Amino acid sequence: MKNSLLLKTMLLSTSLRNIYKHTTDKKKRRKIIASYIGIICLYAMIVGYSFSMCVGYGMIGLIDAVPGICAIGVSTLAFIFTFFRTNGYLFNFKEYDMLMALPFEAGTVAGCKFLYMYIKSLPWYLSLSFAMLMGYGIYAHPPFVVYIIWVVLSFVLPLIPMLISVFFGFIIAKISSRFKKNNAIQTILTFMFIIFCFSFRYIVDALFKNGKVEETLEKIDEMNEKVGNVYLPVGWFVNAIKKQGISDILLLIGVSVILFSIVFNIVGKSYRRINSALTSHVVRRDYKMTKQKKNSVVNAIAFKEFRRLTGSTVYMTNAAMGEVLAFLLGVVTLVIGFDKIVKMVTQDAPFDSSILQPAIPFIIYFFIGMVATTVCSPSLEGKNYWIIQSLPIPKKKIYQGKMLFNMYLTVPFMLFAIICMSISAKVPVINMILYMILGVALCAFSTAWGCMCGIKFMRLDWENEVEVIKQSAGVALYMFPNMFVVMGLVVLVVFLGTFIDHKVIALVFIMITSVLAGLCYYIVMLLSKDRA
């Protein structure tokens, strides 16, 4: 009873529907409606993509592979989503002191925080699963009981990968809590794990090509069977759908419940100590008062943003992950070679890598522009926003400082990666200079566009910074052009490069990007007057 009360309180305190129901602020109501529209659009995209993929498999006679693909997709999504949210939801969260003062055991609080993560992310998993169920039903014509089994297991399927992800997050938090600079250690370990996950696919490809594992699988159905043999929940789900096996259904449900009990029994024993260590700060004993340096207001605000970024593992791993990946891409390309990277990605297809040269700035920007700090930083002021309001500083200076920090963060990594890839691809010097200018323009656009989204959809009443960094309407709006439009631009630039001089393409996009960046900056300055 107490567990359900705690979980219900957590959900109600962050429910947009509940806020909309009780608030009298018209601006807040409009923002909530806009958030719902954005979320519905994202769900619609997932449903459309998943359903169309099933239609494609059905048309080529591989509809039997869909249950396995669904299980793998949901499990992968659940693992990644949970890993990025574990720190901030389960560990090192702001309301720790308040929750631990309540009459609940540590394991109970941890378990409720996990269930909160599960319920908040469940619509994403169900969107993918139910869309695939529709496609599977059209082509496979299964008995009615299969629909019931699929729907029921769709709620259970994400639990095991989420629990595995939580356990990895727990290990990282436990290790980092033993160090004085635990936030830095936790950030480094998280970066290492994320990079390993990104590179895992290429590690597997290398094993296949070297013949260390079985020969490359020819059929998707066979591949799913292999994955099901290694990761048993996928096999249980597939057998439950295809064979309606009661034992497989009970195994998936039973193992999920048992694993939940085991994980949070282990986590509960160290939960207080880990969180206390992560939320505490070490005071330097060798601190000495030195001469104070005088900086401009804008630079001082930029430095404040730097301290805010390095002080939060969640913020750091989200806002700086793209820069780390861009740096690694530049180094790997320089060491291995641009041509070999292209062959690896295209699976040795007959492809002239030189036509990809004009797309270099956009390829790097795909990583650099993942999340701009300016999207999150206005909302991260939270309950301290009144301090900014009371400072004798024009609001435009504050936002200029926030934008300057994002430029300090992104431009060096952008230029480094462009230089490395251009040298490896043997790009002419003039073209490389133009690509660098285009890269800076893209960073400026990302900065200004992100700040515009961050101010327009500012949310100050958050209880957990994850809600701002990962789940805000501003982040969702920002990611549309930076994730989907950029992929289209890569294809467009490559196509144009086949019959237009690469320098002309770079100059045209420099002008377009600069105009868009300037327009976004102008809107930010107008919005800063409204916030005054």
Do 153 and 78 lie in one domain? The reply is yes
CA 17 remoteness from chain centre: 24
What kind and span of H or E run contains 10? helix 2-14
Q: For residue 407, what are the contacts with CB-CB under 8 A and spacing of at least 6?
A: 443, 444, 447
Question: Which residue intervals of 280-357 are DSSP H helices?
Answer: 297-310, 313-319, 321-336, 338-345
- Where does the pLDDT of residue 215 fall: very low under 50, low under 70, confident under 90, or very high at 90 and above? very low
Residue 213: predicted pLDDT: 38
Backbone conformation region of residue 348, classed left if phi is above 0, alpha if psi is from -120 to 50, else beta = left
Tell me what pLDDT residue 519 has.
94
Kindly state whether residues 274 and 301 are assigned to the same domain: no
Task: State pLDDT tens for residues 267-281.
Answer: 777 766 666 665 554
Question: What are the tokens at 179?
Answer: 């160090």
pLDDT (mean) for 149-165: 89
Overall number of domains in the chain: 2
Whether the pLDDT of residue 66 is over 70: the answer is: yes
The pLDDT of residue 510 is above 70:
yes
Percent of the chain at pLDDT exceeding 90: 11
pLDDT for 464 equals 66
Buried/exposed 419-437: b ≥16 CB within 10 Å, e otherwise: bbbbebbebeeebbebbbb
Q: How confident is the model at residue 512 (pLDDT cuts 50, 70, 90)?
A: very high
* 314, 269: one domain: no
- Residue 477: the pLDDT is 78
The overall average pLDDT reported for the chain is 76
Residue 143 in any domain: the answer is yes
How many whole angstroms separate alpha carbon 39 and alpha carbon 474? 11
Query: Who's near 361: CB < 8 A, 6+ residues apart?
Result: 414, 418, 435, 438, 439, 442, 506, 509
**At which of 253, 279, 305 does a domain end?**
279
* Section 35-56 average pLDDT: 79
Structure tokens at 46: 């997932």
Q: What is the mean pLDDT of residues 245-273?
A: 82
Same domain assignment for residues 304 and 235? no
- Let me know if residue 75 belongs to a domain: yes
For residue 35, tell me if it sits in a domain: no
Please report whether residue 166 resides in a domain.
yes
> Hey, is 91 helix, strand or coil?
strand
Whole domain around residue 360: which residue ranges?
297-530
pLDDT, tens digit, 9 for 90 and up, residues 70-81: 888 888 888 877
**309/227 same-domain check:** no
Between the two ends of the chain, the Cα-to-Cα distance in Å is 47
Q: How confident is the model at residue 196 (pLDDT cuts 50, 70, 90)?
A: low
- Distance of alpha carbon 247 from alpha carbon 227, whole angstroms: 19
Residues 354, 262, single domain; the answer is: no
512 is a domain residue: yes
Residues 340 and 264 placed together within one structural domain of the fold: no
**What confidence score (pLDDT) does residue 262 get?**
86
> 257 and 384 share a domain?
no
Q: Are residue 424 and residue 466 in the same domain, yes or no?
A: yes
Instruction: Say which range, 45-59, 170-184, 207-221, 515-529, has the weakest mean pLDDT.
Output: 207-221
Are 185 and 116 members of one domain? yes
In a domain, 291, yes or no: no
> What confidence category does residue 239 fall into, taking pLDDT thresholds of 50, 70 and 90?
confident
462 and 386 co-located in one domain: yes
Residue 449 scores a pLDDT above 80: yes
pLDDT score of 282: 45
Residue 2 has pLDDT above 60, yes or no: no
pLDDT of residue 185: 47
Distance CA 52, CA 54 (A): 5
Query: Is residue 49 included in any domain, yes or no?
Result: no
The whole-number pLDDT of residue 498 equals 81
Answer yes or no: do 106 and 217 share one domain. Answer: yes
Residue scoring higher pLDDT (243 or 210): 243
Would you give the distance in Å from CA 496 to the centre of its chain? 31
Domain termination site, one of 226, 244, 279 = 279
Q: What does the chain come to in residues? A: 532
Q: Is residue 39 part of a domain?
A: no
Q: Is the pLDDT of residue 33 over 70?
A: yes
* pTM, to two decimals: 0.63
- Would the pLDDT of 226 be above 80? no
